[in-house]
């Protein structure tokens, strides 16, 4: 298994979270921004997490000439079926702070009762090599949207993603509990399992 990986993302927060998830399962990775100038990734589609992740990974692997891991993720809300999902970042504004994005979701759901505030977080990870090889995995996490932002162990959607089993949001759980539960953490475990199974 390749020992050195770069994370193909211009989002520092996402890169940090993905690096933590990968490290939890024994793989070291760091933001490509720590090693190279900022890349201008190809535009994302509006239809497929897999396509978005693969395009980012292949582009970065070719540009950087090293193995990379890219992520495409989003939150899906049945109560707001026409919003978010694969276009989450675009719907909420990529330059909007995580706190404000969460407030926008809470405002949109203000009239929705707790029992109907179901949510799914989806993550796709794509590994790519300069020779054109790719590997993809996907994972999901089911939960509910809380009535307010809570927790300080992590940020983003974790602060409003309520897990009934624990009676807490993801952001209220320390990393040793949170990381294996998250959509990105589950995807990281799947990816590392498959990488270890590959030859070389």
Active-site positions read 72
Task: In whole angstroms, give the CA distance from residue 100 to residue 105.
Answer: 9
Task: Extract the tokens encoding 26.
Answer: 């024994």
End-to-end CA distance of the chain: 6
Report residue 49 CA to chain centroid gap.
Answer: 10
Among 162, 153, 147, CA closest to 103: 147
Contact partners, residue 194, CB within 8 Å, separation at least 6: 135, 137
């Amino acid at each position: 298994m390749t020992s050195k990986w770069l994370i193909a993302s211009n989002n520092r927060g996402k890169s940090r979270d993905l690096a933590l998830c990968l490290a939890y399962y024994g793989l070291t990775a760091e933001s490509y921004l720590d090693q190279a100038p900022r890349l201008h990734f190809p535009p994302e589609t509006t239809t497929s997490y897999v396509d978005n992740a693969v395009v980012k990974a292949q582009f970065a692997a070719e540009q950087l000439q090293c193995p990379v891991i890219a992520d495409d993720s989003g939150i899906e809300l049945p109560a707001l079926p026409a919003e978010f999902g694969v276009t989450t970042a675009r719907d909420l504004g990529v330059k909007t702070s995580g706190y404000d994005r969460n407030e926008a979701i809470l405002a949109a759901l203000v009239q929705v009762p707790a029992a109907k505030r179901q949510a799914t977080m989806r993550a796709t990870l794509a590994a790519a090599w300069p020779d054109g090889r790719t590997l993809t995995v996907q994972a999901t996490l089911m939960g509910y949207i809380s009535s307010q932002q809570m927790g300080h162990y992590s940020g983003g959607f974790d602060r409003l993603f309520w897990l009934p089993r624990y009676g807490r949001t993801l952001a209220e759980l320390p990393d040793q509990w949170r990381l294996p539960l998250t959509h990105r953490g589950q995807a990281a475990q799947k990816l590392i399992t498959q990488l270890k199974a590959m030859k070389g």
